[in-house]
Amino acid sequence: MPGGFTGKILRVNLTTKQVSTLPTEKYMDYGGGHGMGSAIFFELVGAQLPFEAFDPRNLIIMMASPFAGTFMPGSGRCEVQGLAPMLHPIEWFGHSNFGGRFTAQLKFAGWDGIVVEGASSEPVYISVIDDKVNIESAAGVWGMDTWDTQQEISRRVVPSLRYGEWAELAQNCFTTQIPAVVACGPAGENKVRYAALLHGPGSQAAMCGYGGVFGSKNLKAISVIGTGGVPIADPQALMDARIWFRQFQWDVDNPRDAAMFSSGYSLINGAPSGGNVSNGDRVPARAAACASCPRGCKQRLATGDSNESVCAGSMFASIGGGGMFGGGAKPKSADGAAAKPASIAMAAALRSKLTRQGNDLMQRMGIGHWPVMAMRGYINTAISQGLVKAELPPQGTYAYYEALFRMISLREGELGELAAEGPARMAEKLGRYKEDVHGGSLRLTYWGTQEHYDTMTQLEWGYGSLFGERDLMLHQMSNYPVHWMAQSGNPYLTAEEASKLYAEAMIPYQDDRYLIDYGVSPETGIYSDSKIKLTAWTKHYEKFWHGMGFCGWRWPQCITNNTADRRGATPNAEPRFWNAITGQNKTFADTMEIGHKIFTLDRAIWNIQGRTKAMEVFPDYIYDRPSGGSIQPMVIDGKWVYDQGRGRQHDRAKLEDFKARFYKFEGWNPDNSYPTRATLEKMGMKNVADVLQSKGKLG
Ligand code: SF4
């Protein structure tokens, strides 16, 4: 086996209670991580598709990568795959991921991944201690929230564990570690379609509803603890690469341009602690990190709440105005006079405390933080318009969020049942899908997931989601580094300089200077061949590198303000670390071609599930309403500028033409979007071509 791999993938059948292994070597042509997960999914159930996400035949696949358990920066996330109950109109084969220390422990236990199939007749959890794997009863754990579940399972797995002391896992086998547990909460047990998986206090696999798939399998949690290591092909080369990489990191002792990109812009510059967007620096906190990540975007707070939650996980519940932006109404004393400064400070602290605890409640119930954002708005609309009779406490109070989370997680009442189905299916059940989704009041732009950044200007996000299965959620492409840099009003690169550095990084399309021209010029803008390459590059990078556990808050890094010449680590860092760890000799272009192969395999799975060319369209409002825009680099009148691109509307005919050219570029039939036999066989996937042909879906 190449370095970085343990050589075996755990296979657990919950119906038969059989535990076996799959050899990693068999799937090496797919790189690792997501690619291997897709290959396993296709091999085990591809020919049986279509079926639904809560069918026991669905798989939960949790993949590590060669990087997990090493100190390759920002590479330790766990890739989760399987049919996704959250997605719409078909429960597409999807993916989500979560950070923390799960994949590191999985590798230390000797596994490259876990495949769970079937469904148990009674609640269980899976315990992995090195090569000892047991399916254990979850009696007494089923019904617990995600935090209590992790604590209780840790106690059961390692009863002798005491903080700071050695515990005996097996004979002559000791650890100071607690098991890494990933669990569903009450929302997952009740098959809420956007139920999350939670690991640690705040690391969520938020997308796709895999918590609900755990629930459908009567699977409460997976616990992993290992005492081994990860084989590294060339330890010296890995150490050299890691030291070399320091130039791309935020330098705590000498932060370049710290004043330019502080506080909210820590997402751009890579400074620690910036992920908890509701705390800022109000409560003293130290940075916390996923295994292997020197950035540490998370926080551990002195107050002990909101720990390790980031972004939507720390800002969904905003209580009394204590959320992302703090502040809120200024309190008054009983006679109406302005309150004293001490009272104001105390009230603000209380609002912040309640906000953090409200968000923690969401984590404990196991509700996906990003999808519930769209859900909350639609619930409020349904109540206020009298579409559903339900009462909730006043919005903005802790009681409101407590009642909301309980209603969704336990499917309480008519509204709870509707809300648990997610906003797209709730709109359908209310008979309002066309009016609300196509009309644009419920912006479910991408397969039942909500619009995130402007579809018309952040183009790889819009196209990458349309040609994928969910919101792309790839901030580090040109969203944080370019959009937010320009949005700051003080960009450290001109639009033209940024476009040059991006083109240099985006191998194999480095000869195209207009890859990130987000303008409307027919030659280089929104429907141009440059945007086809931008979309392809983004999807291929997503499938290979993000699927390899790379964090979307760190990778790719085409530019950075941490280096003197503003060049980022991409495309040199990725192959340098890969080759040091695996001992292979891959170029960046090699990995992107494997990403292309994985994307084509995922495409074939979606086609078998029912994806057609006609389905790949945006809701009507994207064509019919002027876009609000979103600042990006673009060429206007022959000059590179930063511009909002406001007022655009997609043109249906031009988008159809773009789609056909994109399919052809990828080696798929431009008339029906199905991959061709020639493409699949060239990629070594004759088996996929045969199944597609048997289903009448070969391009
Ligand atoms: S940037 Fe944050 S979420 Fe990403 S790997 Fe690092 S600590 Fe984890």
Looking from the CA of residue 288, the nearest atom of ligand 1 is: 7
553: three-class secondary structure by DSSP: coil
Chain-wide mean pLDDT for the chain? 93
Task: Determine if ligand 1 sits within 6 Å of the CB of residue 551.
Answer: yes
Each residue's pLDDT tens digit, 624-683: 999 999 999 999 999 999 999 999 999 999 999 999 999 999 999 999 999 999 999 999
Q: Is the pLDDT of residue 105 over 90?
A: yes
Q: What are the extents of the domains in the chain?
A: 8-225, 311-431, 459-694
Domain 459-694 = CATH 1.10.1200.10:
no
Task: Determine if ligand 1 sits within 6 Å of the CB of residue 505.
Answer: no
Each residue's pLDDT tens digit, 367-376: 999 999 999 9
Nearest to 223 by CA among 167, 288, 155: 155
Nearest to 60 by CA among 234, 211, 249: 211
pLDDT at residue 258, rounded to an integer: 53
Task: Count the neighbouring beta carbons within 10 Å of the beta carbon of residue 423.
Answer: 33
Task: Determine if ligand 1 sits within 6 Å of the CB of residue 475.
Answer: no
Rounded Cα–Cα distance for residues 561 and 553 (Å): 15
Pocket test for ligand 1, best of 70, 71, 553 (most atoms within 8 A of CB): 553
Task: Determine if ligand 1 sits within 6 Å of the CB of residue 73.
Answer: no
Pocket test for ligand 1, best of 203, 273, 298, 480 (most atoms within 8 A of CB): 298
How many angstroms does the Cα of residue 476 sit away from the middle of ligand 1?
A: 12
Q: Is the pLDDT of residue 407 over 60?
A: yes
Task: Determine if ligand 1 sits within 6 Å of the CB of residue 68.
Answer: no
CATH homologous superfamily of 8-225:
Aldehyde ferredoxin oxidoreductase, N-terminal domain (3.60.9.10)
3-state secondary structure 61-89: EEECCCCCCCCCCCCCCEEEEEECCCCCC
Rounded Cα–Cα distance for residues 195 and 185 (Å): 8
194: three-class secondary structure by DSSP: coil
Q: Is the pLDDT of residue 324 over 50?
A: no
In angstroms, the first-to-last Cα distance of the chain is 35
Q: Classify residue 647 as left (phi > 0), alpha (psi -120 to 50) or beta.
A: left
* Locus of tokens 């035949």: 57
Each residue's pLDDT tens digit, 251-299: 777 655 555 555 456 667 777 888 888 886 678 899 899 998 988 999 9
Same fold, 8-225 and 459-694: no
How many angstroms does the Cα of residue 312 sit away from the middle of ligand 1?
A: 14
Rounded Cα–Cα distance for residues 681 and 675 (Å): 10
Rounded Cα–Cα distance for residues 396 and 551 (Å): 32
Instruction: Give the neighbor-by-neighbor strand order of the sheet with 180-183.
Output: 132-137, 124-129, 219-225, 180-183, 197-199, 203-205
Under DSSP, the state recorded for 226 is -
3-state secondary structure 231-288: CCCCHHHHHHHHHHHHHHCCCCCCCCCCCCCCHHHHHHHCCCCCCCCCCCCCCCEEEE
Each residue's pLDDT tens digit, 540-599: 999 999 999 999 999 999 999 889 899 999 999 999 999 999 999 999 999 999 999 999
How many angstroms does the Cα of residue 397 sit away from the middle of ligand 1?
A: 30
How many angstroms does the Cα of residue 275 sit away from the middle of ligand 1?
A: 8
Q: Which two tokens stand for residue 130?
A: 């090195």
Rounded Cα–Cα distance for residues 285 and 295 (Å): 15
Which residue's C-alpha comes closest to atom 2 of ligand 1?
297
Query: If you average pLDDT over each of 100-114, 251-265, 473-487, which comes out highest?
Result: 100-114
